[in-house]
Chain A
């Protein structure tokens, strides 16, 4: 088996338009959640979100590209540009033929669906733009990355709701580890912050109207976010040979299915994914210093996740740190695991643990060190990133310092 390392990272999200801005915000414990700005927001009960503000796609893409790029594709391409530039890779010849793109998204081009439904239903028009389908399809972002960077290997999009990015990154990891691909572009993207996208979530009655406060006893639900996180996963020797800067090593993963309920999480399913990732990576539970939690801020997720961590780690659960950065950037749904992996890399490389902000009251059902409100300096060697999706589909990734 090959070793797999991360040699590039890129992002755009409510905390920043690139990785340095995002990490600076996480270090400061800054909240990127704000009042939503889009058409008909006044008809929503939920009016806040981790919306990407101050981003004008027009300056980055030409007119022809703009007609083809939904906002989730724009986010993906911005983050991919940053990640691939950092890696220094140029895909040619055999590397190009074998390297591909695996991305996660839950909704794909939601705002394209929304805008065009509005056109035909509300405005009564009978004609839509010819590129609606290639713009909204879930694999659009993946395909545009492959075209932009000449990636001709295995490429596809994974859609497992809130675990999409982690499932995608797990797939990319497997491909590089097995020797199938020298490098893979992976991560995920989401952009559901439009009237229809938020209205649908509102119906479930699990959203907070004021803030995302994971693990805090006074938490009252999740807050949606948007953006993308993209990474270059590369075979270790391939990266070493060209003298690439290595951000972290990906050492293990596991996926599990609760097979129980379409929305309620299961402690057993989560615990099987966490312990599976430890086993896959040959990791002693005591070596895990930090977990980036799924931590949605709902009553159900947070207590279930803490119980699962307590089950897997036993007494070590009292030693490790587990924070939810969703308190700052919101829940990016299919893109969330990718943006959250940045907090994992920061923990390993910079020795800075991102906080869970908005934390007010201790909840005995979440009795874990959640790094409340302020980032903390700590030396950690192994970290995990949890993702537990609606539908009971779980994926956990393990990274090690290198």
Chain B
């Protein structure tokens, strides 16, 4: 399974939706994922890919990790996997 499919699976599980309901332009808000759900999703992502995601819930906009859409989350994780598994 590639990174994109695995991330969508994690987000879908958090949102209690089918992976097919999660599109690249979905936002966490549109999927009904709140701040606690986001922190839990990031934990699942870190565990799945064995990476560390720089994310502080107090300043999400300042984190290097862009959570504005599913596409941006996937792009961020692809970058982190490439960097941290290099």
Contact = CB atoms under 8 A, between A and B. Distances in A.
B36 A263 contact: yes
B39 A204 contact: yes
A160 to B, nearest CB: 20
Interface in A18-77: 45
Contacts of B58: 206, 208, 219-221, 298-300
Interface residues of B, number: 12
Give chain B's interface secondary structure class.
loop
Given A203-B43, A205-B42, A299 B57 contact: yes
A230 B57 CA distance: 33
A205 B36 contact: no
A264 interface: yes
Nearest to A207: B56
A220 B39 CA distance: 16
A262 interface: yes
Interface residues on A, range: 10 to 19
B56 A220 contact: yes
A299 B59 contact: yes
Contacts, number: 37
B68 interface: no
Contact of B56 (A221, A262, A264): A221
Nearest to B60: A299
A209 B42 CA distance: 18
A262 B36 contact: yes
Interface string B57-81: 1110010000000000000000000
Contacts of B56: 205-209, 220-221
B55 interface: yes
Interface string B20-45: 00000000000000011001001100
27 contacts: A203-B43, A204-B39, A204-B57, A205-B39, A205-B42, A205-B56, A205-B57, A206-B57, A206-B58, A207-B56, A208-B56, A209-B56, A219-B58, A220-B56, A221-B56, A221-B57, A221-B58, A262-B36, A263-B35, A263-B36, A264-B35, A264-B36, A298-B58, A299-B57, A299-B59, A300-B35, A300-B58
Interface of A: 45, 203-209, 219-221, 262-264, 298-300
Interface of B: 35-36, 39, 42-43, 52, 55-59, 62
Per CB-CB distance, the 3 closest pairs between chain A and chain B, nearest first, are A299-B58, A221-B58, A205-B57
